[in-house]
Amino acid sequence: AATLEAIATRSVGGVVLFSRDQPSGSPVRNIVGPQQVAELTAALQEAAASSEAALPLLVAIDQEGGLVARLDPAHGFPAAESAAELGARDDAGYTRSSSAAMAATLRAAGVNLNLAPVVDLNVNLQNPVIGALDRSFGADPRLVARQAAAFIRGQHDEGVLTALKHFPGHGSSTQDSHLSVVDVSDTWSDTELEPYRRLLADGLADTVLTAHVFNDRLDSRYPATLSAATIDGLLRDQLGFDGVVLSDDMQMGAIRQAYGYEDAVRLAIQAGVDVLTIANQQVFEPDVVERTLAIIGDLVAAGTISEERIDRSWRRIAALKERIVA
C-alpha cells in the first residue's frame, strides 16, 4: 500500500522486484508466482498512470540467468542459463534466442527493465560476487561484448530494456560490495572498459548501472557510484554515454556503512546518477523512499543541487520511458 501511494502521489518512477523472503510477519513478498507477479505489476502501472507524471513505471528485476534469477523455477518460472554457460558456448544466435525466451517471461510478468547483462570481465575466478557465481560471460572483452550484444538483442526482441553493469568494472575485485567498501585499485585495468566501448558504439546501451567499487586510478576519494570523475567524466565525457545511469543499491554495505545516507544521495546525484536504486527497504528502513525524496528536495531548496541538474535526469528518464513497450 505504501509503495502504491508513493507511485500515485509522489510520482515515484520505478520499482525493483526481489524474490527474497521478507522479514518475519511482513505481508510483502514481491514474487510468489507468475499470476501474482503479473497482477502486482499491473497494479503498480495503474498507480503510475494515475500520478501527476502519468508516465509508465520502470519495473526492474535482476534476471541474469543461473544463480541470479529472481523469476526462477522455485517460483514457477522457466530456468535460464548463466552468463558463464552462455559464454563458454559462445554462440551468439543461441544466446539471443535464449535471452528472448527469458525476456518473454519478463514481459508476461510485467517487467520492462532487466538489470542485466553483467559485462564485468571474469579476470578473478574467485571473485565472490562475480566469478564465483558464474555471472560473467568470460575474461576476454571481445567475447563479453559479443555475448552481451546477443543477450541485449534478445531482450529487445521481446521489448525489454537492459542495463550494463557494473561500471566501470567489478570483475577483478576480491570482495563483495554488498558487505563493505571494495577497492579494485590494484586489480582493475582499462581493459574492463572495452565491453562498454563496443556496446556503446553499437548503440546497445539502454542504461548503465554503477559499481560501488573504489578505484583510485579513477577517483582518489569516492567509489564509482559517488564519483563525478567516473560517471560524468569517464562514462559521459570520454565514452560518450548520455543515457540513464542507475546506481547499484544504495542500501549496500559499500555505501551504507561508509557514508552517511544524506551525503551518499547528494554525491550520487552530483556525480551524474539519474536513478537512485533503493532495495530491501523493509529490511533496512521502511520509510527510506520518503526520506530520500525529502533529502533531494532540501538539496534543491538549498541550491546544493540545481533544478537544471534534476531536469537533466528527468529528460533522460522520460526518453527511456518512451521506449517502454506497452
Q: Is 66 left (phi over 0), alpha (psi -120 to 50) or beta?
A: left
CA dihedral sign, ordered 252, 253, 258, 261: positive
Pick the catalytic residue from 178, 190, 202, 219: 178
User: Rounded to a whole number, what is the largest CA-CA distance in the chain?
Assistant: 54
Q: Which three cell numbers stand for residue 103?
A: 525476456
In degrees and rounded to multiples of 5, residue 58 shows phi and psi of: -80, 115
Distance separating alpha carbons of residues 217 and 107, to the nearest angstrom: 40
Question: Is 212 assigned a catalytic role?
Answer: no
Q: Please name the residues in contact with 38: beta carbons below 8 A apart, sequence gap of 6 or more.
A: 108, 109, 110
Question: Is 178 assigned a catalytic role?
Answer: yes
Torsion (CA) 276, 280, 286, 291 in degrees, nearest 10: -10
Contact 63, 110 (CB under 8 A): no
Distance separating alpha carbons of residues 312 and 229, to the nearest angstrom: 18
Pick the catalytic residue from 62, 72, 176, 248: 248
The set of catalytic residues is 178, 248
